[in-house]
Structures are given as structure tokens and as C-alpha cells.
Amino acid sequence: MEEIGIGLIGTGFMGKAHAFAYRTVKTFFGDVPAPRLAVLCDQPLDKARLMADQFGFSKATDDWRALIDDPAVDIVCITTPNKLHSEIALAALAAGKHVHCEKPMALTLEDATTMAEAARTFGGKTIVGYNYIANPAFQHARKLIADGVIGRPVHFRGFVDEDYQADPETPWNWRATKGDAGLGALGDIGCHLVSMMTGLMGPVARITGDIDIIHKTRPLADGSGHKPVENEDIASALVRFESGVSGVISSSRSAWGRKNYLAFEVHATHGMIRFDQERLNELQIFVNTGDSARDGFTTVLTGPAHEPYGALCPAQGHQLGFNELKTIEVHGFLKAIAEGGRAFPDFDHALEFERVVHAIACSSETGKSVFLKPALPES
Ligand SMILES: NC(=O)c1ccc[n+]([C@@H]2O[C@H](COP(=O)([O-])OP(=O)(O)OC[C@H]3O[C@@H](n4cnc5c(N)ncnc54)[C@H](O)[C@@H]3O)[C@@H](O)[C@H]2O)c1
């Protein structure tokens, strides 16, 4: 397969990231089919035409069904608001297309489960936009832990904080409703933390959650009053992994000063690894040497020794950015399509992440811990 046709639905923050990734992936990684930017969809049509020109797509439409039906499209990228993900993904899979869907998969766990079932039924390849796990720094942390460099993990601490809803005067928008967004901080950013946490610590066995809405109403943009906020600004949880190890995680979209504090610490018997997405090219490693006068954290700057950094940049410490993580994600997807096998995370993997965030909300509602069934076996 020399070329593969891309259909992109939505041209906001993530639409631009997908367009960048599919445009550049072949430049950085030679071992995949060349993406052909075939059809772009947004509304209204004038906007779609403008963005198709800017992003380099051959055709523009305001009808995502027409995009799916277009024979020039092999991969459907879904970068619309959350409420459209499920309907578009199901239609694309039924039409025999591959699907690159942004997170969260759907508003509800039921819809996400249906999407995963459809992927298995129709056989299209899928991937969900958990781009932070594509970071070479994160993959290196996984390797160090697997190699036993810090000993046996004994505890996990994780945060994901931003301040985009910290100001009580920020106008009400679709992200505040269960009908348009689904979960709040959990579905928007907490799921990213879960994707990293489970990658480092393995599946979750039990979770006890507590969620809260800080700003109960928000002003309407036109000044005509206030509307209620329906989903959580803050979520916290105590975690017990299948390995028996414990953890604690916390997420807020109302944490002043935090811009993308997606951070973790893995505490282990001989040391600790810590990471913070606001410094995404760094990993901090402490290994106990027994000499407390000289012990301390080492800051490792990622470089070509941390794959696949070298494919994007030949020089250590020169640093990758957010959009390049999306390019690494796209590379993995195109490899799975061209060579067979599963992309990571496909709909089944992502469903496991999303089961955890929904379990936190469910636990908070019922006041009881949620015991998660063992994860699906790898295949
Ligand atoms: N992976 C990440 O790190 C990350 C980061 C931000 C957002 N996201 C996810 O990406 C998705 C989009 O978020 P965003 O921040 O890009 O939103 P956005 O508001 O910036 O963009 C949404 C786009 O979808 C378009 N759209 C809406 N309805 C449409 C329709 N019926 N047909 C065609 N186009 C339509 C809008 O016009 C807009 O261009 C969300 O699901 C969000 O959770 C993921």
C-alpha cells in the first residue's frame, strides 16, 4: 500500500493536530504508506472550504456521512465534540473504514462498548487519541520500571490539572453538559492520566472515587443569565491495581496556574520516577545508592536513545512538542494498517481506560468502591 486516503471531521484544536500529524508522518517515518489528505468536513461549508485549503485537503464538505461514503477515504479521523464520536465511528466502521477517534470514545460507557464491538465485527483498524502515551519519555519510564531500575513499584501518584474552568466567570459551554460532553474533568483529562497509569502499573482491580462540581453555574456568553454545570470539575480516587499495589490520583479542570500538569510518580523499592507533561522532554529518576550525601534526582532529557525521538529529531535535548506526539500516534496507526496487528490504544484498549474513569464517577455517586472485572486478554 503506497498511499492511504484521510478524511478529517472537525478542524479545531485536535483537527489541526491530526492534519499536522498525517501531513508530516511520512517525512519523519519512511516505513508507512503516504497519507493522501482526501476530504475535510466541518460546518458551515465555507469554514470547511477554508480549512481544506489551509490544511491541504483536496475536497471539503459539511456532511460527515458524505465524507465516510467517499471512496477516496480509507481512514476517518473524528475530531469533533464528544457527542458525535460514537455515531460517526459506528457509521465509518460499518462502511469498512479505519477510524482514528479522539478521546473520550463516547459520552457513556455503553456507547464506548458498542464502538469496540463494532470494531471487532467490521474489522476496521482503530486508534483513540491518547497521545501522551506516545511520548518517548513515557515509554522510557515504562522500560526503566520493567527493567527493575527503581526496584519493585510499591505506589503510584498521579495528577492531571488544568485551569481552563478555574475562573467562575468563564462562560457556560458544551463541556458543562452531560448530553454534549459526558463526564467533566474525568472524560476530558482524567482519562489521559488513566492511560498513563495503567501503562505503568497494569490494570485496576478496585477504585474508590469522589467527584465535585466547584462552580455550580456559569454565566451565558450573551449575558442573559446563568446555566447549571452538570459534570465534575474535580475528581479524586484511591486505586488498587491487580498487582496488589495501591495508588492515588486526582484531576481538576479548575486548578489555577496549571496548564497541563499531567504528572505521575512511581514509587518503588529502590527509587522513584517522576514525570510532568509541562516538561514533556524530561524524566526525573532517583535511584538509592545508599550515600545520602550524594543521592538526588537525575533529570534525563530525551533524545535519540529514547525511541522514536530520533526519527523526529537527531539531537538530544532539542525537544519534541505536543503535535509530534500526535505524529508518533499516527505512525503506530499506519503501521498497524499496513502490516497488520493492533494499534495501541485501539477501541478495546481505550475502553479499558474509560471503564476506569466511569468507575470513579460511579463510585462517587454510590459511595461504594467499584471492583473492575479483569481486563480483556491481549490478542
Ligand atoms: N488528545 C488530546 O490531547 C485532546 C486534546 C483536546 C481535545 N481532544 C478531544 O478532541 C475532540 C475535539 O476537541 P477540540 O478541542 O478539537 O474541539 P474544538 O471545538 O476546537 O473543535 C471541534 C471541531 O468540530 C467541528 N464540528 C462540530 N460539529 C460538527 C459536525 N456536525 N460536523 C463537522 N464538524 C463539526 C467544529 O466546527 C470544530 O471545528 C474532543 O473530543 C476532545 O475531547 C483531545
> Is 182 near ligand 1, meaning CB less than 6 Å away?
no
- Ligand 1 within 6 A of CB of 64: yes
For residue range 310-336, list pLDDT tens digits in order: 999 999 999 999 999 999 999 999 999
Q: Do residues 344 and 198 touch, judged by C-beta distance below 8 A?
A: no
State the distance from the centre of ligand 1 to the C-alpha of 13, rounded, in angstroms: 7
3-state helix, strand, coil split of the chain in percent (to 5) is: 35, 25, 40
pLDDT confidence of 379, banded at 50, 70, 90?
very low
Of residues 342, 359, 348, 344, the one with CA closest to residue 204? 359
pLDDT of residue 373: 77
Reply yes or no on whether the pLDDT at 67 is more than 50: yes
pLDDT band for position 174 (cuts 50, 70, 90): confident
Q: Give the three cell numbers for residue 177.
A: 453538559
Model confidence over 233-278: pLDDT tens digits? 999 999 999 999 999 999 999 999 999 999 999 999 999 999 999 9
Distance 81 CA to ligand 1 centre (A): 4
pLDDT of residue 267: 98
Please name which of 59, 275, 290, 81 lies closest in space to residue 175, comparing C-alpha atoms: 81
Amino acid at 98: H
Name the DSSP letter for residue 38: E
Residue type, 55: F
Q: What single letter denotes the amino acid at residue 189?
A: I
Mean pLDDT estimate for the chain: 97
Beta bridge partners of 315: none
Tell whether ligand 1 has an atom less than 6 A from the beta carbon of residue 15: yes
Ligand 1 pocket check for 363: Cβ under 6 Å: no
Average pLDDT over residues 51-74: 98
Sequence-distant contacts of 286-292: CB under 8 A, at least 24 apart: 286/150, 287/149, 287/150
Q: How far apart are CA 330 and CA 89, in angstroms?
A: 17
The 10s digit of each residue's pLDDT in 347-370 is 999 999 999 999 999 999 999 999
Nearest-5° Cα angle at 189, 57 to 310:
60
- Residue whose C-alpha is closest to residue 204's, from 256, 143, 266, 248: 248
Q: Is the pLDDT of residue 36 over 80?
A: yes
Are 102 and 31 in contact by the 8 Å Cβ rule? The answer is no
C-alpha of residue 281 to centroid of ligand 1, in Å: 26
Residue whose CA is closest, atom 27 of ligand 1?
80
How far apart, in whole angstroms, are the C-alpha atoms of residue 17 and residue 192?
17
Taking the model in full, what pTM does it have? 0.97
Whether the predicted pLDDT of 306 surpasses 90 = yes
Question: Cα(57)–Cα(63) distance, rounded to whole angstroms?
Answer: 15
Distance (Å) from CA 12 to ligand 1 centroid: 5
- Compute CA distances 126 → 114, 129, 351, whole Å: 13, 10, 12
**pLDDT exceeds cutoff 70 at 376:** no
Residue nearest to atom 28 of ligand 1 (CA): 80
